Chains A and B, each alone.
Chain A
Amino acid sequence: MSLLLRAKKRFKRLFRVLLRRKNARIGIYGPPNAGKTTLANRIVRDWTGDAVGPVSEIPHETRRARRKENITITGTNGSSVDIDIVDTPGVTTKIDYHEFLEYGLEKEEAITRAREATEGVAEAMHWLREDIDGVIYVLDSTLDPFLQVNIMMVGIIESRKLPVIIVANKIDLPDSSPARIKSAFPQHPVVAISGLEGQNMEQLYEEMTERFG
């Protein structure tokens, strides 16, 4: 790391302490079922031994934003960053309760889940507009990255000038193609990981200390 960058980080940390500023709030965003909560659990477990929330193969398992405070992440280069992790509901532009019936949910339960999911998406957008200082944008690397909601969300994050890391998740799966994600968002750092298996997390932590420090 250059001398200038190190000095800048030290100054920022000192500034934060002097002004008693709170930790940077890093939002984990992405479409439903991209593995956001799995990643949030992995990060929180690695650094605090705790967890954020339950995961499920049924979309919209996370329907409320959850914050885990005071996580100190240290990169392999020795630099560290103090953050709060905010696990957010998956952002989408459509929710149909019939989708949940296919996973064996009863109609009543599916309707309730759909209603809560709509509230969750609105809540996630509100957090992004008002309370988030940096973003980890999680994409399922087995799927098309040009999904409209991805393009729109990255545009929103860019317009807020928030530091962002794009995570190409699920590289443990055979159809995974992180290269497709890298070519879709060449202007941002992309880290290929498996949140489930814990593959390549060191690189993500390194990137987090660089971007969010």
Chain B
Amino acid sequence: MVQGVQIDLISEDRLSRLTSMEKIRLILDGVKEGNIVVLEKGLAPEEATKLIELTMLEIRPDGFSGIEMETYPAREDEGGLSSVISRILGRKNRSRMTVIGPANQLKTIRKEKDLISAWISSR
């Protein structure tokens, strides 16, 4: 049988239809099966704290050891009119594309502000 890694690319549209807990379960269940989950739009900060907490609860000796996540830093305030309009409308910084995988399969090779190189291994 050909060895490989399943990659699930989840669109922003689909994510927007899910509740926070549904998103977190979708991510954790996929990752625990050894899949790489790519989110077109990253989690909100509140969701990220819950993902960390739930991940910690599910870690087992010689089993699931946690997750590895890759994303870019939030965009800096660009200034100018668009920034002023965003502030008036109360728009928050958009979270960015995020890759999540099992900690023992997804490793970062190089990371910069605008470039991420990662290495994925099969189980």
B-binding residues in A (CB < 8 A): 91-97, 111, 114-115, 118-119, 121-122, 125-126, 128-129, 144, 146-148, 151-152, 154-156, 158-160, 184, 186-187
Return chain B residues, CB-CB under 8 Å to A184: 73, 113
Return chain B residues, CB-CB under 8 Å to A96: 65-66, 103-104
Q: List 9 A-B contacts (CB under 8 A).
A: A94-B103, A95-B56, A95-B65, A96-B104, A129-B49, A151-B72, A152-B48, A152-B71, A155-B45
Give the distance in Å from the alpha carbon of A119 to the alpha carbon of B67 in the complex: 16
Cross-chain contact A93 with B111 (CB below 8 angstroms): no
Give the distance in Å from the alpha carbon of A159 to the alpha carbon of B74 in the complex: 11
Give the distance in Å from the alpha carbon of A93 to the alpha carbon of B74 in the complex: 19
Number of A-B contacts (CB under 8 A): 91
A-binding residues in B (CB < 8 A): 44-46, 48-49, 52-53, 55-57, 59, 61, 65-74, 76-77, 92-93, 95, 103-104, 108, 111-113
Return chain A residues, CB-CB under 8 Å to B93: 155, 158
Return chain B residues, CB-CB under 8 Å to A151: 71-74
Pick from B46, B66, B71 the residue with the most CB of A within 10 Å. B66
Pick from B55, B56, B71, B112 the residue with the most CB of A within 10 Å. B56
| Additional 6 contacts, C-beta under 8 A, given A96-B103, A121-B56, A122-B52 | A94-B65, A94-B67, A118-B59, A146-B113, A148-B68, A152-B48
Return chain A residues, CB-CB under 8 Å to B57: 118, 122
The 7 closest A-B pairs by CB, nearest first: A94-B66, A94-B103, A159-B45, A118-B56, A96-B65, A156-B45, A146-B111
Return chain B residues, CB-CB under 8 Å to A119: 56
Give the distance in Å from the alpha carbon of A166 to the alpha carbon of B45 in the complex: 18
Given A92-B66, A119-B56, A152-B69, decide whether A111 and B48 contact each other with a Cβ distance below 8 A: no
